[in-house]
Structure 1
Amino acid sequence: MSKPFDMELFLAGVLTGSHATRQRHLRQARIIQAEIAERWQRETPWGWQRKHIVWFIKHHLAGRSGATRYYYLLTVQLLVRRLERSWVFNCQKRI
């Protein structure tokens, strides 16, 4: 029996800001993790590829407000920084 992945511990080194901000990032990171795990069976961020996050941004955030997309992208940036990757996401909504 293995322990469930602890997103709080994973992001501990890169989380900054107020308590509310840290909680928002944790909540959003858990949502991202759950969606990717359900779609691709990748339980931890260590197994993610750039395409997994792009899929999340395109499909899960489609139709969401600009503010929601912005806050999720901030969380994605934290995840990428923690993974020590150089992935860049250009997610401006096209009008």
Structure 2
Amino acid sequence: MSKPFDMELFLAGVLTGSHAMRQRHLRQAKHIQAEIAERWQRETPWTWQRKHVVWLLEHHLGSCGDSTRYYYLLTVRLLARRLEKPWVFTYYGRCFGIS
């Protein structure tokens, strides 16, 4: 039996800010992980490709409000930073990388 993936431990090195903001990022990262795992059977972020995250941002969160999509984009940037991936995403014509 394998252990479940610990998102909190995975993001520990890149999470900063207030307690509430860290909790929001963790909650959203777990939701991202669950949706990608359900759709593509990719259980850990180490197996994700950019297309999986783009699907989540564009299709799965497409009907959500602007602020929700923006906060998920910030969480995705943290995930990309932790994965050391050079992924860049656009939000209303503005590029968001992993700076």
What is the TM-score with the length of structure 1 in the denominator? Answer: 0.95
SS in 2 for 1:55: helix
Structure with the bigger percentage of strand: 2
Aligned to 2:4: 4
**C-alpha separation between the residues in 1 aligned to 2:83 and 2:31?**
17
The runs of 4+ residues in structure 1 deviating greater than 4 Å are: none
Q: Which has the higher contact order (CA 8 A, sep 6+)?
A: 1
Cα separation, 2, equivalents of 1:26 and 1:69: 15
In structure 2, list runs of 5 or more residues that go unmatched. Answer: 94-99
In the alignment, which residue of structure 2 is the partner of 1:46?
46
2:25 and 2:38 map into 1 onto residues whose CA distance is 20
The secondary structure found in structure 1 opposite 2:22 is: helix
State the superposition RMSD in angstroms: 1.0
- What TM-score does the superposition give when structure 2 sets the normalisation length? 0.91
| Shift in Å, 1:17 | 0.4
- Hey, what's the Cα distance between the residues in 1 that align with 2:91 and 2:52? 14
1:25-80 deviation digits (Å, cap 9, x = unpaired): 00000000000000000000000000000000111111211111110000000000
What count of residue pairs does the alignment treat as equivalent? 93
